[in-house]
Structure 1
Amino acid sequence: MASIQERNGRWRAFVRRKGESVSESFLTKSAAKEWARRVESQIDRGEFRSAQASSVTLATVIDDYEKELRASNRRSKTKLSAYRMLRQGLGALSVVALTADDVLTHVRRRRATGTGPATLNMEIGFLDELLTYARMKLPVGNPVADARPMLRRLHLIAKPKERTRRPTALELERLRDYWRFPRGKELPMTAIMDFAIATSMRLGEIVRLRWADIDHEKKLALIRDSKHPTDKIGNDLWIPLLGDSWDILLRQPRGELVFPFHRDAISRAFLRACKACAIDDLHFHDLRHEGASRLFEAGLQIQQVALVTRHRDWKSLKRYTNLKPEALHELLRK
């Protein structure tokens, strides 16, 4: 509802509508009324942009949201990397004036530098999250949703392809042979690799595993903050240490962490070994795939495998069931 007041020979219009509160001063009452009617109409259509709101840039929103994430310990390396790219490409723009064309231009620019469609799909997903946060206080539109259909049609974004890569027995043996001979200050890579396969644990979970989180009586490990689509923090789950994993664990030196090494150092060591052994397109995360597939090959049911891998959605676990044909012989003999 607009109100008009006279002050010192000038007319001031006040508009309070749908959470917006704005005022302006005019020489005549008729001009104040006309301005108030126009602003109310813009607010009703969702087109009003106050000067204060228009001054807020996407970079400011990123800064504010990062503080929120830091306070709740919900930051991730992937998300922070995406924010850095968004800050560089769109950070100077007004968040309330951001358009689908701005998003399209940013994605085209990033694609031209070699960034893949799956990475860009994730990046604009993070942008959408930022705009949702900004929308709590500002009249922000939905440019990501508006841009997505054209981005898909132009093949600039895409869902990530599900990897089905599994290491062969020969590849694993070549890696173990490579690590058998010390090369300076080496990590216990054979133990880490075999533990990753036996437990289907992610690399980040392996390097965070503490001796205090091991149940020696039940042979269980507590995975803290296990990956979750919406609520990772506090999502602590126990997993059984099956097969060789328990013996590998007991061979490690005692301290606070079972594997007290930086995840990046392990990743680099794994890539370096694969290159030295002429093993193509093998990622450390593929070891989790290998571990889950071995559990299926051993005859475990999907609900039993899920206790180890911690998949909540069994549909996503089905991609690990690409069993090796020769494994069926062993299953039939049981």
Structure 2
Amino acid sequence: MSKKQGYTLEKYIFVEMRNGSFRFKVTVNPLKDAATFSSEKKGAAWARRRKLELMVERDGGVRETLPPALLRAYQPILEPVPPKAIMSEQVRMSDVFDSYERYQLKELVGENQEGSRLRLLRQCFGAYALDELSEDFIKEWTADRIAGKYGSGRPPNRGESLTLKDGKLVTKHQRHYRKKFKKTPADQKIAEKVIYPVSSQTVRHELKLLRRAVTMFLKRDNRWLTYGSWWEMQYVMTMKLPPIGAPRNRRISDDEMTAIFGHVTDRFLRAAMLFAVLTSLRRGEYVSLRWEDVDWKRQVVKLRNPGHIKKSKVLARDVPLLPTAIKVLQDLGPLERGLIFPVSATDVTNAWRAAADAAGLYDVVLHDCRREAISRLVEVYGMSLEQVMLFSGHSESRTLEKHYLRLDPGKLVLKLSSMPDAFKGMPSL
């Protein structure tokens, strides 16, 4: 047997076979240990026990001995003790979700979105204990979730799901209201809800929240020292998540922009949307701008940190203003103080959705304005990524390139046609 032959016993444990002996290497970064045994069975028992000790030490709980429940799990036996023998105290998933909702959820900017995911997880897993989240159980749930068993995904054609017999648009909330209160005339029956597959990205977010909620729960009240090492070896922590969804590429043409704005009648909502396209600011950023933060001389607007306890992507910075953006502010009639756009973030989203639906552009969302603004700053003004980041507020250019910068090849062709031919001296056919 070659001296360099070996295999991975399990995560963190590698075995080298050396002329009839077994060299077990345990690596729990940055901690390492190794030992040689004549018996593979004894070596595996040592490696598993040492692995748990290093994991506890790595996580800040340096102890000479492990909890008895964990030690019993890796005695020198061939078959591991079932999880229930490790979980001497049953941890209910309902308690996990209660803890996350109480201590973590309120600190998030996306509290509503995360709260919606948490409600779904509570519905699906709330009646179970932590040690019941087996590989088969999670795999079955993932397949059912993607199939739409626990809630439909988005329809591939939003327009078809919004129309009545008379062609009038209706949202899912309006459909629910009309069915509940029987507000629909007999000759305008609303089609039954169709179940669509759920995107893999949605399921990724939900499974990551499940994993995060349990981890945060165990790290409270010193539970991690007892259950942390066991939890890190469970399927939920080591599973391969569904594939990442493709980055959104939607651009908005001039004609589409004109069609959408043609259905926005409110002066301030219209100005807020236009300002978003001209600056690439996030929705929460431009609705928070105040007149006293506009520097007319430097032609910049000061964006302030929200200052609340929740995490936020908003960075305090001076944002340059294009001449057209300055004109939008001037047309509103500059005031000395107060909000520039006295509308809520939700009002802007709802107004955009209604206008886009009315224009027949069902696949255009408000956040596409940010992508359009960033792409046009590069296409039209020839700005570098570093310059664009002054507008967008990204801390890394990689995020900007991956999700927002979508250059139009057609516009590049027009630009090239007006420039000198770099290959003019090349031979012709």
Q: Report Cα offsets for 1:214-237 as digits up to 9, x if no partner.
A: 4455322315369xxx96377433
> 1:66·1:75 contact (CA, 8 Å) conserved in 2?
no
Matched, 1:311 2:394: yes
Partner of 2:213: 130
Residue among 361, 376, 383 paired with 1:300: 383
Residue among 362, 372, 377 paired with 1:290: 372
Matched, 1:224 2:305: yes
Matched, 1:143 2:253: no
> 1:221·1:240 contact (CA, 8 Å) conserved in 2?
no
Residue among 245, 249, 256 paired with 1:171: 256
Unaligned runs of 5+ in 2: 1-62, 153-197, 421-429
Residue among 144, 148, 163 paired with 1:109: 144
* TM-score, normalization by structure 1: 0.73
- Match of 1:244, SS? helix
Residues 1:39 and 1:69: Cα distance change in structure 2 (over 3 Å): closer
> 2:280·2:374 contact (CA, 8 Å) conserved in 1?
yes
Amino acid at match of 1:232: S
> 1:58·1:94 contact (CA, 8 Å) conserved in 2?
yes
Partner of 2:71: 40
RMSD: 3.3
Partner of 2:280: 200
> 1:210·1:256 contact (CA, 8 Å) conserved in 2?
yes
Residue among 97, 100, 116 paired with 1:62: 97
| Alpha-carbon separation, structure 1, partners of 2:353 and 2:363 | 10
Matched, 1:118 2:212: no
Q: CA deviation at 1:70?
A: 5.2
| Alpha-carbon separation, structure 1, partners of 2:292 and 2:130 | 46
Matched, 1:162 2:247: yes
Residues 1:246 and 1:293: Cα distance change in structure 2 (over 3 Å): same
Residues 1:244 and 1:124: Cα distance change in structure 2 (over 3 Å): same
> 2:278·2:324 contact (CA, 8 Å) conserved in 1?
yes
Residues 1:324 and 1:301: Cα distance change in structure 2 (over 3 Å): same
Q: CA deviation at 1:60?
A: 1.4
Partner of 1:258: 340
> 2:281·2:392 contact (CA, 8 Å) conserved in 1?
yes
* TM-score, normalization by structure 2: 0.58
Identity %: 24
- Match of 2:239, SS? helix
Partner of 1:267: 349
| Alpha-carbon separation, structure 1, partners of 2:356 and 2:133 | 44
